[in-house]
A = this chain, B = another copy of it.
């Protein structure tokens, strides 16, 4: 079995940004020389998601309006942001910039990764499908892992 792994660094600009990483994934598949297998696109972060959808500005804004509506950044009380109750030894992410909403949004989407089939050397994204790295926290330095497995 062939195996290619690539880390791609990226800098996000703001909460809700959908960074189109399709060319990175397609490039990794080409470099892998895998004819039949799959590409696994993975975010090693807890406040991000990998999402496949259309590259269309209206959708980007609709999706962010929706997330803001059901998991608002401001207003609700998030225990994650309340340092006074973090007393049980579970927390491992001390932070001073509140991001409780980011964790809930990431858990809602529950998409640390997306898997895409590779057949006869082609990544089988549909005509309108693009692969996005979705930033659910603020502007940050991020990594996206692309793994190609197959023969």
- Residues of A participating in the B interface, judged by any CB pair closer than 8 Å: 1, 3, 5, 36-38, 40, 42-46, 49, 51-59, 61-63, 66, 70-71, 78-82, 85-86, 88, 90-93, 100, 103-104, 106-117, 119, 124-129, 143, 145, 147, 149-151
Cα A91 to Cα B55 in complex, Å, equals: 6
Q: Is the CB of B110 within 8 A of A85?
A: no
Question: Secondary structure at chain A's binding surface: helix, strand, loop or mixed?
Answer: mixed
* B contact residues around A49 at 8 Å (CB): 110
* A116 interface neighbour in B3, B42, B71, B128, Cβ under 8 Å: B42
B52 touches A46 (CB 8 A): yes
- Shortest CB-to-CB span from A33 to chain B, Å, is 15
Q: A40-B115, A93-B128, A110-B51 are in contact. Are A58 and B82 (CB under 8 A)?
A: yes
- 26 residue pairs from A and B, CB less than 8 Å apart: A5-B119, A40-B117, A42-B116, A44-B126, A45-B128, A46-B54, A46-B126, A51-B110, A54-B91, A54-B92, A56-B80, A56-B86, A56-B92, A57-B88, A57-B91, A58-B78, A58-B86, A59-B80, A62-B100, A66-B70, A66-B104, A110-B110, A110-B111, A111-B111, A113-B114, A117-B147
